[in-house]
Structures are given as C-alpha cells and as structure tokens.
C-alpha cells in the first residue's frame, strides 16, 4: 500500500472527529489497489464492516464482488471505500454534518489514487459527491465535474431483494470497465452529464 494511504488509514482508525466515533466498533478505512483506475464509493459501513474494519464484506459486498467477477475483475484490483468511515447507529443514513466532516478522508484517497473514474454506489454517495438524487434515474451515466469523471450506479444493498436491480448493477459494471478500457486507450468517451461547462 502507498505510504500516504497508510497514513490516511491510520488517521481513520484513530479518528474521533464526529459523533460516529462514539458508537462504532471499528472505523472502516478504504481498501484495495492504490493503482486502481477506479474508486468505488458506498455510503457507510454496515454491521459486518463495523465488526471487522473492512468495507463491503457483508451481503452488499458480495453483490459488488459478484458484479466485478462477472467482468473478470477481482476486488483486489480495485479500491473500495465509503462516504463516511464509521457505521451510523442502526444503519441510518449519515447526516450532512457527518458526511462533511468525513469527506476530507475521501478527498485524500482520491488525490492519491487519482482514479480515471469514481464509481458512485447509490444515493448517499451521489448526493454527497455531486449533489444528486434519484440514482435509479441517472444510473449508467458518465458525469464530468471539475476534471473528474464519475460513473453512477445503484447501491449493491438495493439489489439484495431485487433481481431486476442485480441485472442493472451487473450491466452498469460492464459499462464502467468498458469506459475504463476506452480511457486507457486514449479513446473519446461520451460524457452524459457535464457539470464543468
Ligand atoms: N454498505 C456500504 O455503503 N458500505 C459498506 O462498506 C457496506 C455496506
Ligand atoms: Fe472520523 Fe469519519 Fe469516523 Fe466520523 S465517520 S469519526 S469523521 S472517520
């Protein structure tokens, strides 16, 4: 792991900057390949993640892993993190204050990894990073903002009881890696929404 990411990880582990530090078992720093072309950003750790200190290792994580594996990508090849690094009590949505305070860590992760695309998983990440809502309307789209590309898809947890959404997630992940391949080959990609202009 890069030294700088190691420092962030340690800071997250020790962090007491917001109230979630009082109720968590373990903070959950981002994890994965610091040379990844993509960072996946979820909402917040759940029960399993809080217990083990690793992101997306519960049922939602299995859905994400399965979608990646379908395109021949292993979890270890990518970088996975969350908007907030500590579990909110009863899995409530993290508050705006908690998100604002914690986002400094995500900004640092992004600036070190410099991903070609940030993959937004679900509404909380969509809202926090791009001010958006109603991800199901915008999923599958490529967004540009401040010279950074974002790809939008549903949260893997939303697919647990919804077969249709599993297909959507799988399809989106295929598109995401297709886009990354195009970018690696310096091909033009179609920007669906441009916040830069
Ligand atoms: N849901 C998330 O948003 N993140 C995790 O790490 C696990 C479940
Ligand atoms: Fe720190 Fe983020 Fe955890 Fe709050 S959620 S204590 S800001 S790591």
Ligand 2 centroid–CA 190 distance in Å is 36
Confirm whether pTM is higher than 0.75.
yes
Q: Rounded CA gap, 112 and 96, in Å?
A: 24
What are the chain's domains?
A: 3-194 (3.40.470.10)
Q: Residue 61 above 80 pLDDT?
A: yes
Which atom of ligand 2 has the smallest separation from the CA of 16? 6
For 77, the token pair is: 């090849």
CA–CA separation, 113 vs 36, rounded Å? 7
Q: How many CB atoms lie within 10 A of CB 163?
A: 8
**Ligand 2: which of 30, 49, 88, 101 to mutate, most ligand atoms within 8 Å of CB?**
101
pLDDT of 110 reads 98
For residue 1, name the pLDDT band (cuts at 50, 70, 90): low
Q: How remote is the CA of residue 4 from the centroid of ligand 2, in Å?
A: 18
């Amino acid at each position: 792991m890069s030294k700088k990411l190691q420092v962030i990880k340690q800071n997250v582990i020790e962090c007491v900057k917001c109230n979630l530090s009082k109720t968590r078992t373990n903070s959950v720093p981002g994890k994965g390949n610091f040379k990844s072309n993509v960072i996946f950003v979820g909402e917040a750790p759940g029960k399993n993640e809080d217990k083990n200190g690793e992101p997306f290792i519960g049922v939602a994580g299995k859905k994400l892993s399965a979608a990646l594996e379908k395109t021949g990508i292993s979890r270890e090849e990518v970088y996975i993190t969350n908007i907030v690094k500590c579990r909110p009590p009863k899995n409530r949505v993290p508050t705006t204050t908690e998100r604002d305070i914690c986002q400094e860590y995500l900004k640092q992760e992004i600036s070190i990894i410099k991903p070609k695309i940030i993959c937004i998983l679900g509404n909380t990440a969509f809202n926090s990073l791009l001010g958006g809502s109603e991800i199901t309307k915008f999923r599958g789209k490529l967004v540009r903002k401040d010279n950074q590309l974002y790809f939008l898809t549903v949260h893997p947890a939303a697919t647990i009881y919804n077969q249709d959404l599993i297909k959507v997630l799988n399809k989106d992940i295929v598109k995401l890696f297709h886009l990354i391949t195009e970018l690696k080959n310096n091909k033009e990609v179609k920007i669906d929404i441009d916040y830069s202009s």
